[in-house]
Amino acid sequence: MDTFAAVLWDMDGTLVDTEPYWMRAETDLMHAHGLNWDEEKGLLMVGNDLLTSARILVDHGLPLPPEEIVEILLDAVIEQVAEHVPFRPGARELLDALRAADIPCALVTMSYRRLAEAVVAACPPGSFRALVTGDEVPAGKPDPAPYVLGAEALGLAPEDCVALEDSIPGLTSAEAAGTLALGVPHLVPIPEAPGRVLLPGLSGIGPVELREIAGRMRSGRI
């Protein structure tokens, strides 16, 4: 039996480097209301579901309903994505290699479907067989539900899937779901933990490397 059957991808910060887009949108919105906000505060938002992030802005004084905040931020990020989709190094190459090897992928993101579809449209055709988005899950990351649903969408159990995540909430979600979870830290460090695998990036990673890592995880050699 192969060491894994599918790959579940986080989007923001893992597949694409859109976190700066979110930070710009948050900063612009807060400044428009005369409120202080900067990149350091923006790091508080990385990996959260969007309503949680919106409530953080409310807690910092933004006088808008969280649901309205989410839509304003989504509009701003989608506008930036329409101009340029900033793929993370190695991400497109890994997608191509997985597709060539007939290994299915699902996108598991806390961004809403309209943003996820804009990003997927910029990926090679057929890259993703399923999308699980933040506006369609019963609970967001770090709850395991998103990754459980991602595996189910491909007809698989979570333990048959490799998950790629750049954030602490996302990696916590993937680990709790029972996937072969790989951390790919980007803007926010991910702490080491027993059995946790952290990659320096996706460049040079293909199906062969993922099989080797997954095999070591299954055998307890990590």
Residue 102 bears catalytic tag: no
User: Is 143 known to be catalytic?
Assistant: no
**What contacts 47, CB < 8 A, 6 or more positions away?**
13, 110, 141, 142, 165, 166, 167, 168, 169, 170, 188
Catalytic residue (choose from 2, 10, 28, 59): 10
Phi–psi pair at 183, nearest 5 degrees: -85, 135
Q: Which of 2, 12, 38, 96 is catalytic?
A: 12
User: Could you list the active site residues?
Assistant: 10, 12
